[in-house]
Amino acid sequence: MKESTTKKLEEILLNIDDENELDQFLKNTPQKHPLMSFAEYLQSFLRDDEQARSSLLRSSGIERTYFYHLLSGAKQPGRDKILRISIAMKWNAEETQQALRCGNQAILYAKNMHDAVILFALHHKLSVSDANDLLDSYHLDILD
């Protein structure tokens, strides 16, 4: 099956009547899957640098035990935790979008006011605390 638009793929999918057809659709449709888990993605930046891990732990504001569970892959982070880590890592928008994909979370959408503020924070290399202050100043949910 050639690369198709999302709308065309949705139309095909909505016309599938049974699991055999679904199986064929999934086998023949190019899928975009992250090549690695969020833990693997994060580890690829940290390598075995314990000092970088400690610094990230402090700057992200994530509880220590939970952070190491995320790093090991024992726990899957929610969107806010991925965004906290992305901001603390000083990742750019592209790196953050990939982190969200690896974590099976919705990517940032510039038309969403909350996401627009996050994109601004990433671009300007704000701290997690400053990003949360900015979100709060617009009466938006802070990153928990």
108 in the same domain as 90: yes
> Full-prediction pTM beyond 0.85?
no
pLDDT band at 2 (very low <50, low <70, confident <90, very high): very low
Q: pLDDT for 64-100, tens place per residue?
A: 999 999 999 999 999 999 999 999 999 999 999 999 9
pLDDT band at 3 (very low <50, low <70, confident <90, very high): very low
Supply the range of the domain harboring residue 1.
Answer: 1-31
88 in the same domain as 70: yes
More confident residue, 21 or 126: 126
Total number of domains in the chain? 2
Token reading at 81: 């935790």
Whether the pLDDT of residue 57 is over 70: the answer is yes
Rounded to an integer, what distance in angstroms lies between the CA atom of residue 131 and that of residue 143? 8
Per-residue DSSP letter, 32: -
Token reading at 74: 């024992």
68 in the same domain as 112: yes
**Residues 76 and 69 sit within 8 Å (Cβ to Cβ):** no
Q: Within a domain: residue 116? A: yes
What pLDDT does residue 13 have?
87
Q: Within a domain: residue 144? A: no
Q: Within a domain: residue 142? A: no
Token reading at 26: 């999934």
74 in the same domain as 5: no
Cα radius of gyration (the chain): 18
